[in-house]
Structure 1
Amino acid sequence: MLEQPDAPFPPGLTAQVELTVADADTARAVGSGDVPVLATPRVLALAEAATVAATTPRMPAGRTTVGVRVELAHLVATPVGRTVVAHARLVEADGRRLLFEVTVTDGDTTVASGRVERALVDRQRFVERAARVS
């Protein structure tokens, strides 16, 4: 798809966020397993946080993005005390759809990799619809 000159999210946008793994981040603590290593749900949350960080500086007023699809391979266990970094890169912007490639690393080791798809929405309408559903 051809990029619009005024598109708020051109492909190539990047961001990273980091986390030093604490006991509260482990599979045992979040209920996704019984081992004291970084939990997959926390890896996913960190990857999503990186995608949000990539869009935040260019977010149009009254808009936000919401996660709609995730594909994530959690490859390596990370013990408490290690610092992991989630990297997100916008690879495709098609209308409201934003597709990111994400990696989570511990130094030179890839802990996880995948793709996160987000949708650009009107914040107020989204919240109002969610309230009607519940």
Structure 2
Amino acid sequence: MENAGLIAGLKKEITTTVTDDMLASHFQNGFLDVFATPAMITLMEKAALLCAQEHLEDGYTTVGSKVEISHIAPSPKGMEVRAVAELIDIQDRKLIFRVEAYDRFEKIGEGIHERFVVNAERFLQKTYQKAR
């Protein structure tokens, strides 16, 4: 089974520093130079992806399918932020993660993120068939 190494309770934490391309003003979803919600969600998704990927067989990966995220506090450019993903449930190929993000002072985001385990080659073949 492609996800036999996955068990509830697995965690992954990653960090980054807020740069110009992560600001709300860059995404044009706000005018302020603060850590943008899309950038925070990307960091959370990456933590979940890496959490799962370490335990999958070769040729398999995960794709994001759902995010339910609250962005609860701002972070300025130059501040280090971190995301934590914890695998809380496995339903066949669907993986459910609790995700949280923090800056140096407080929790800045939280929510649930779902991913599906896929065979990378089959997934891409099916996707590229759309272009034909």
TM-score over 0.5 for the alignment?
Answer: yes
Q: Is 2:123 the partner of 1:129? A: no
**1:108, distance to aligned residue in structure 2 (A):** 4.4
Q: CA RMSD in A?
A: 1.4
Measure, in 1, the Cα distance between the counterparts of 2:37 and 2:73: 10
Measure, in 1, the Cα distance between the counterparts of 2:63 and 2:121: 13
- Unmatched tracts of structure 1, length 5 or more: none
| Contact 2:12 2:51 (8 Å CA) reproduced | yes
**1:34, distance to aligned residue in structure 2 (A):** 1.3
Q: Is 2:14 the partner of 1:17? A: yes
Which residue does the alignment assign to 2:30? 33
**1:116, distance to aligned residue in structure 2 (A):** 0.5
The amino acid that maps onto 2:5 is P
Which residue does the alignment assign to 1:107? 104
Question: Residue 82 of structure 1 is aligned with which of 63, 79, 84?
Answer: 79
Which residue does the alignment assign to 2:93? 96
Shift >6 Å, 4+ stretches:
none
1:126 counterpart SS class? helix
**1:7, distance to aligned residue in structure 2 (A):** 2.4
Determine what percentage of the aligned residue pairs are the same residue: 31
Measure, in 2, the Cα distance between the counterparts of 1:22 and 1:61: 33
| Contact 2:53 2:62 (8 Å CA) reproduced | no
Measure, in 2, the Cα distance between the counterparts of 1:11 and 1:108: 28
| Contact 1:16 1:53 (8 Å CA) reproduced | no
**1:37, distance to aligned residue in structure 2 (A):** 0.3
Measure, in 1, the Cα distance between the counterparts of 2:59 and 2:21: 33
How many aligned residue pairs are there?
A: 130
- Unmatched tracts of structure 2, length 5 or more: none
